[in-house]
């Protein structure tokens, strides 16, 4: 009989950090996220991570990542509007995060880096606005009426944004990998006022800007529901490359009970990963194969289940067969 032996819930003592790093431009958010991605690969034994880079700002950081680590980036993605991309042509972020979830279930990754989550809030806003206008257009077409698109979400339309945000946050919480989000500490740069905006009228531009800044702030409040959040304050010394990269980490919320403390550079990374065990697949197999009684077998099987998130599909299939064969042997 083909039993579902190891494909259960990951035990609660398996540690996955879901956190957010806040800071102004140049404060070191991306640099710290890069260090986190490298450390997550070193500790998990999975030399691949997913990067969602909304600003194309990681080109210089990629040079600091060891060549054996594979960076997986979604292709043909539009996160921001520009001269050639209207808001209704932007990527549907809910569909993207669902696709990422499905990919991770087949091929585990060490972590996901989202830089910047402020832009994700803006993207969810535009996705919601596009959905609202699509519904309105369908209704207008059905009754043969003129269609006038909304330029912002009305009060009753924010439910679409909230629903999309809930989908994304719930998926992020349940993913079996570490996650770090980077976000601007202020919303002043949530949008830029273009010449086209000015031509369309100051009042309309002001309303859109206000809505988008509210969206960014709402998304930031959602990120506080994660395990860890911190605010970076850089220590800048233009005469010294090392000092230029240093910063203090003000802990806003932490599973480590460090709320309100100030940590230097990578202390929180070291603290977290000291709690995270790296899988030794051959050792886990040996424990199951060498178990001499049901008690030892159950103990070895529990350890295999603890490291399920670090196994690829081939390892999961191999482990399932080993467990089934050993169970059959002990039962005879």
pLDDT of residue 304: 84
State whether 105 and 193 are in the same domain: yes
Residue 122, Cβ neighbours under 10 Å: how many? 26
State whether 256 and 314 are in the same domain: no
Residue 249 belongs to a domain: yes
Question: Which among 233, 251, 273 is the end of a domain?
Answer: 273
State whether 227 and 122 are in the same domain: yes
Residue 13 belongs to a domain: no
Model's pTM, two decimal places? Answer: 0.70
pLDDT of residue 227: 72
State whether 298 and 235 are in the same domain: no
State whether 266 and 287 are in the same domain: no
- For helices 158-174 and 93-106, the axis angle rounded to 10 degrees is 10
Question: Which among 226, 252, 273 is the end of a domain?
Answer: 273
State whether 293 and 236 are in the same domain: no
Residue 51 belongs to a domain: yes
Domain total in the chain:
2
State whether 165 and 287 are in the same domain: no
Q: Which domain, by its residues, includes 38? A: 18-273
State whether 64 and 209 are in the same domain: yes
Task: Decide: helix, strand or coil at residue 295.
Answer: helix
Residues across the chain: 332
pLDDT of residue 198: 44
Q: Could you tell me the CA-to-CA distances from 278 to 147, 307, 308 in Å, in that order?
A: 57, 8, 11
- Mean per-residue pLDDT over the chain, rounded: 76
pLDDT of residue 160: 93
Tens-digit pLDDT profile for residues 185-223: 654 443 444 455 444 443 444 444 455 555 555 555 555
State whether 30 and 46 are in the same domain: yes
Residue 101 or 202, more confident: 101
Residue with tokens 């932490």: 254
Residue with tokens 């450390």: 39
Of 65-79, 225-239, 305-319, give the lowest mean pLDDT range.
225-239
Model confidence at 92, pLDDT cuts 50, 70, 90, reads very high
Strand (E) or helix (H) holding 178: strand 178-184
Residue 12 belongs to a domain: no
State whether 85 and 181 are in the same domain: yes
State whether 218 and 145 are in the same domain: yes
* Cα torsion angle, 16, 27, 186, 90, sign: negative
- For the chain, how far is it from start to end, CA to CA, in angstroms? 15
Residue 304 or 145, more confident: 145
Confidence check: pLDDT of 68 > 90: yes
- In 3D space, the residue among 119, 90, 113, 115 whose CA is nearest the CA of residue 187 turns out to be 119
Residue 252 belongs to a domain: yes
Residue 2 belongs to a domain: no
The structure tokens listed for 67 are 């060549």
Q: How far apart are CA 332 and CA 328, in angstroms?
A: 7
Residue 54 belongs to a domain: yes
Residue with tokens 């912002």: 152
CATH of the domain at 147: 3.40.50
The structure tokens listed for 112 are 């996901």
Residue 11 belongs to a domain: no
State whether 62 and 145 are in the same domain: yes
pLDDT of residue 69: 95
Residue with tokens 């790296």: 278
């Amino acid at each position: 009989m083909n039993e579902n032996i190891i494909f259960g819930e990951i035990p609660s003592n398996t540690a996955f950090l879901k956190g957010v790093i806040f800071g102004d431009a140049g404060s070191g958010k991306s640099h710290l996220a890069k260090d986190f991605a490298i450390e997550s690969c070193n500790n998990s034994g999975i030399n691949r991570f997913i990067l969602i880079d909304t600003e194309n700002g990681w080109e210089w950081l990629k040079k600091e990542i060891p060549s054996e680590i594979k960076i997986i980036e979604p292709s043909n993605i539009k996160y921001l509007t520009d001269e050639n991309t209207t808001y209704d042509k932007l990527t549907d972020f809910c569909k993207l995060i669902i696709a990422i979830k499905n990919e991770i279930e087949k091929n585990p990754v060490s972590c996901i880096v989202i830089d910047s989550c402020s832009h994700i809030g803006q993207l969810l806003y535009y996705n919601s606005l596009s959905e609202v206008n699509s519904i309105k257009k369908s209704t207008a077409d059905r009754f043969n009426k003129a269609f006038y698109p909304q330029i912002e979400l009305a009060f009753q339309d924010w439910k679409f944004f909230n629903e999309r945000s809930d989908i994304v946050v719930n998926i992020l919480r349940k993913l079996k990998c570490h996650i770090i989000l980077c976000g601007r500490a202020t919303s002043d740069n949530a949008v830029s006022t273009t010449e086209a905006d000015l031509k369309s009228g100051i009042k309309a531009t002001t309303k859109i800007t206000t809505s988008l800044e509210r969206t960014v702030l709402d998304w930031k409040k959602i990120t506080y529901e994660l395990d860890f959040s911190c605010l970076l304050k850089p220590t800048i010394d233009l005469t010294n490359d090392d000092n230029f990269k240093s910063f203090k980490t003000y802990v806003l919320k932490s599973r480590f009970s460090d709320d309100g403390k100030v940590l230097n550079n990578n202390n929180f990374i070291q603290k977290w990963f000291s709690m995270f065990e790296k899988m030794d697949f051959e050792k886990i197999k040996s424990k199951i194969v060498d178990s001499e009684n049901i008690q030892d077998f159950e103990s070895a099987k529990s350890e295999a289940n603890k490291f399920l998130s670090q196994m690829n599909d081939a390892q999961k299939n191999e482990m399932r067969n080993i467990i089934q064969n050993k169970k059959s042997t002990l039962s005879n």
